[in-house]
Amino acid sequence: MKQIKGPAIFLAQFASDQAPFNDFRSICHWASNLGFKGIQLPTTDSRLFDLSLAATSTNYCQEITSIAAEYGLSITELSTHLQGQLVAVHPAYDQMFDSFAPAELSGKPQQRTQWAIAQMGLAAKASQNLGLTSHASFSGALLWPTMYPWPQRPAGLVEQGFEELAKRWLPILNQFDEAGVDICYELHPGEDLHDGVTFERFLAATGNHQRANILYDPSHFVLQQLDYLAFIDIYHERIKAFHVKDAEFNANGRSGVYGGYQNWLDRPGRFRSLGDGQIDFKSIFSKLTQYGFDSWAVLEWECCIKHPEDGAREGAEFIKQHLIRPTEKAFDDFVSVATDKHQNNQILGLDK
């Protein structure tokens, strides 16, 4: 068996204009002091990372890799969650998603899509230049407004939606294939890829593309009331990245999985800091180790109650305590005996 690496941390929720979160070196120092061994880098925050430069300059990639190494850190994956979202946007969300792209693209959805696709190409090359093998992203969504069908969806709508989604992603997946990097889609409400069935639809539409894989985040499955442990049994061969994020679902008589348009604090389903929610991480780490997952356990902090710096500090130790060193021998090896075909035939009643 192989061992999960960690602890690591996704930096997107921590980047700000305040030190030590406003430049790459200082945030590396901060993460290292908390005990993290890896960092997952957002690619839209120029305070931390220059995606265009990383795609064209191996010297720049060596520089940031060296800075991280000074603090005992590895870069685990790059993230293009925002750009991936913009690969496919239903017109109902155009105004709300304009903020994910440069200001000059506001109100220009077609140009925004082309920008997002180009960004994904840069991410493939940058990942290759950094020596990475996995990449974190979102799929975007054309069908999400029809998720709960009333009025009923017209026949063929879902199939056409996934055909178009695959059409947009296939050239990107091929670029990542050339770079030797897996795209790991975070299965997330709001995306057309938000559970196992929708991931299967996408796989089929892409011809089971080998670079279409999963970023496993159990918190999103708790909020959907999906069995997050059985999910690992079914899809472990495609799980190539892992966000360690806690969540809880507190059923009540006023609202359910849809949340009633309430803020995060008042929803039945809400994200929590590690150890404060309901997720069985002991079983998750056991299953992932059992199936040979050997990539990074990456903390993603999203909590409606606890301060992010406290969540990060506690999260580093939480992940460390859940990492499993695989055994190299069976517990009953001490009574094992060498293979003896004649004896085995006797035991089986075959030696006459």
- What tokens does 192 get? 């057309």
Which residue, 232, 231, 229, 135, is CA-closest to 182? 135
Q: What is the distance of C-alpha 62 from the center of its chain?
A: 24
CB-based contact 291:234 (threshold 8 Å) = no
Q: Record the pTM.
A: 0.95
Q: Does residue 123 sit in helix, strand or coil?
A: helix
Residues 6+ apart with CB under 8 A from 282: 322
- Torsion, Cα 342 344 348 351, to 10 degrees, reads 0
User: What tens digit of pLDDT does each residue of 155-200 get?
Assistant: 999 999 999 999 999 999 999 999 999 999 999 999 999 999 999 9
Q: Does residue 76 sit in helix, strand or coil?
A: strand
Q: Go through the domains of the chain in sequence order and give each one's CATH number.
A: 5-347 (3.20.20.150)
Ranking 99-103, 132-136, 148-152 by mean pLDDT, the lowest is 148-152
Q: Give dist(CA 287, CA 283) in Å, integer.
A: 6
Pairing of strands 246-249, 269-272: antiparallel
Q: Give dist(CA 297, CA 5) in Å, integer.
A: 6
Q: Give dist(CA 71, CA 288) in Å, integer.
A: 28
Q: What percent of the chain has pLDDT over 90?
A: 92
User: What tens digit of pLDDT does each residue of 204-258 get?
Assistant: 999 999 999 999 999 999 999 999 999 999 999 999 999 999 999 999 999 999 9
Containing H/E element for 65? helix 58-70
Q: Does residue 182 sit in helix, strand or coil?
A: strand
Percent helix, strand, coil in the chain, to 5, is 45, 15, 40
User: What tens digit of pLDDT does each residue of 112-130 get?
Assistant: 999 999 999 999 999 999 9
